[in-house]
Amino acid sequence: MTTAPQTAPTKTEPVDPVYRQIRDLVYKVSGIYKADEKLYLLADGCVRRMKLMGAKSPRDYWDHLTANPSRDGELRQLLNEITIGETCLFRSQPQLDAVRKVILPEIVVEKTKQITKRLRIWSAGCSTGEESYTLAMNMMEESERLLKGWTVEILATDLNDRSVETAKAGIYGDYALRNTTDYYKRKYFTTLDEKKLQVRPEVKKLITFSRLNLQDDSKMLFMKGMDLIFCCNVLIYFDGASKAKVVNHYYTNLNFGGYFFLGTSESLLNLNDKLHLVHFPGSIAYWKPSLSSGKL
Amino acid sequence: MTTTSFTATIQDRVSRIDTMPSIPAVFLPLLELLNLPPENVKLDEIVKLVSYDNTIAAQCLRVASSPLFGLAKTPDSIKGAVLSLGLRRVQTILLTCCLGSAFPAKNWPLEPTTFWRHSLGCAMVCRKFSEKLAAPDGDKAYMAGLLHDIGFPVNCMVFPKEFAIATANATQAQIPLDEAERATMGFSHCETGRALAEKWHLADDLIQVIAFHHTPELSESAKPLVAMVHLSDLLCRMRNMGYGYYESRKVDLANNPAWAILLQEYRALEGIDLVRFTFELDEAAGEVFNLVSTIFGASAAAGKS
């Protein structure tokens, strides 16, 4: 067996072909696809795991992922490694553009006949709140235009109590705010000290943070009437059968005409054939066809 | 203005393209060779044709060594490229290079780099589509993708004022460019592209693609190819290879009429993983951008001035 140095390739170096094999395995199991230009991120995660597992080369680590009795657990650990620390405010501008420029106008027309103008959004697996606040601020930007006279409710849930508490505090440093423009910082944050900003109370008011286990079927039944569901890098924590169950809950909880978003390099594979895969400029989502679309 | 007089105007103005710098002499003979069965095309003929134009031969070799075509080593002659890549592939590369000098990109209302990225992107997606569907002629699909929008450069040159208004309207209203063209000019790049394609005596299936890629159901003789270009065009526009402005729209490819047309011809379409296809397309986009600089660098840069 050859011994390769346990360092991750950099952006410019050619990667060991085994990493492409690992990429395909990760996609098959989780629906997460690391494109060639992001392959070094995957390799980086592999190298960290290789060190812990004592794997001597990428090929050796491949065996850990495919042949060892503990392969399922190891794959889970690797998925953890490659999705960790991806979160920040305004993580995916194309998703936000799709929501504000395409989806909201569509939902507003769809619900035009309803007496109560209410928009419900669920950030499922909200972690420390970055996505939830980003959504809240963007909805507030529309409050004098598209969403004038509308009530916006954002439900943000996570399994981890500590994450939920951190999310509620809404305090972020430079790293989490790296994509946040000065406009948003000034309008929606107060300065705590040189390095930290805190989300203003009027933004927090839109969001209800709570702990929720996505596998708790009885609680999932109470999440009905959602127009938008965001579930980024969460499904990786479930095995095939429970993943299908969670996705089915999402489907049931979405309103007709509602949309379901995953992380930017994630896909549902074949978990639900009732949701339509749709493309927006720079992003994809899953759509539960509206009653008026004739596509049910 | 009536439809008939529109058509007359288009034909009249397009016929005047003659007065503009012409396409490299090797383009049309090369394209004709592409219509022949590969066994009837002689390597020597291609090499002879290309020897008239050193710039294109050199460009072709640079392009052949791009990762998109999968060669580890740059071939040192057209003959060498043909031996490694096959005759058909080299023909399509040569045609791509020729097209770069076909349209002098000066003061276009449309950013030339953006246009070529879209055309080459669409060519690349068409070829990938063909591979996934095990369609018989991936290089024909590539040419169809490459040429589908030749009506845009025609508009830039022949109807610059009207087309400038259409692009401005499309950008402002975030609507598809062909819709804006029809609303402002009464016709679109499909009609002007068709006029040029007929003037150039392109093969019928390519004319069908150019004329009907926004309305594949209207195509008479090349429905599956037109449908494939329609879907590839949409995909490119949704993945950062559109016309350089935001199109406020949702695209449901699997429920697009073109999908059903293509499915009738290729059952393999059913099993295609569209998300992975999309991610792979993103991967190839960087390479398409590099190719555009290699092939169209000079003419694209001229248009920026």
> Which chain A residues are within 8 Å of B239, Cβ to Cβ?
279, 282
Q: How far apart are CA B150 and CA B95, in angstroms?
A: 13
ipTM of the complex: 0.86
Average pLDDT, chain A: 89
CB contact under 8 A, A284 and B254: no
Report residue B230 as tokens. 């329609």
Q: Report the topology of domain A93-293.
A: Rossmann fold (3.40.50)
Question: How many angstroms separate the CA atoms of A48 and A62, rounded?
Answer: 14
How many structural domains comprise chain B? 1
The angle that helices B54-64 and B274-304 make with each other, rounded to 10 degrees, is 150
Q: When comparing pLDDT for B111 and A209, which is higher?
A: A209
Contact B238 A36 (CB under 8 A): no
pLDDT digits (tens, 9 = 90+) for B240-261: 999 999 999 999 999 999 999 9
- Distance (Å, whole) CA A89 – CA A181: 10
Mean pLDDT calculated for residue range B183-196? 93
Question: What are the domain boundaries of chain A?
Answer: 17-83, 93-293
In tens, the pLDDT along A191-250 reads 998 889 999 999 999 999 999 999 888 888 889 999 999 999 888 878 778 889 999 999
User: pTM here?
Assistant: 0.87
Look at residues B158, B198, B164, B157 and name the one whose alpha carbon lies nearest to residue B181: B164
Neighbours of A20 (CB within 10 A): 15
Is position B278 within any domain? yes
Cα A90–chain centre separation:
12
Whether residue B266 is contained in a domain is answered as yes
Range of the domain at B242: 106-284
pLDDT surpassing 60 at residue A6: no
Task: Select the residue of B246, B252, B278 nearest A276 (Cβ to Cβ).
Answer: B252
As a whole number of angstroms, the distance between CA B35 and CA B29 comes to 10
Closest CA to B265 of B146, B149, B142, B141: B141
C-beta atoms surrounding B154 within 10 Å:
25
Domain contains B95:
no
DSSP state, B67?
G
Return the pLDDT at B302.
47
The domain that holds B246 is classified in CATH as: 1.10.3210.10
Taking phi first (over 0 means left), then psi (-120 to 50 degrees means alpha), and beta for anything else, what does residue A279 get?
Answer: beta
Is residue B114 assigned to a domain?
yes
Query: Going by C-beta distance under 8 Å and a sequence separation of 6 or more, which residues neighbour residue A52?
Result: none
Cα distance between residue B171 and residue B163, in whole Å: 12
Residue B267 lies in a domain: yes
Helical packing angle, B112-133 and B138-147, nearest 10°: 160
CATH class of the A17-83 domain in this structure: mainly alpha
Question: Among partner residues B238, B255, B282, which is closest to A295 by beta-carbon distance?
Answer: B255
User: How far apart are the C-alpha atoms of B253 and B251, rounded to whole Å?
Assistant: 6
The C-alpha atoms of residue B74 and residue B64 are separated, in whole angstroms, by 7
8 Å CB contact between B90 and B64? yes
Q: What is the pLDDT of residue B171?
A: 97
**Residue B88 located in a structural domain:** no
Identity of the amino acid at A224? K
Task: List the single best residue of B114, B247, B252 to mutate versus A (max A Cβ within 10 A).
Answer: B252
Residue B49 lies in a domain: no
Strand partners, A279: A284, B251
For A281, the closest of B247, B253, B279 (CB atoms) is: B247
Residue B217 lies in a domain: yes
Using alpha carbons only, give the angle B245, B251, B255 rounded to the nearest 5 degrees: 160
SS3 B97: helix
Q: For residues A237 and A234, give the distance between their C-alpha atoms in angstroms, rounded to a whole number.
A: 6
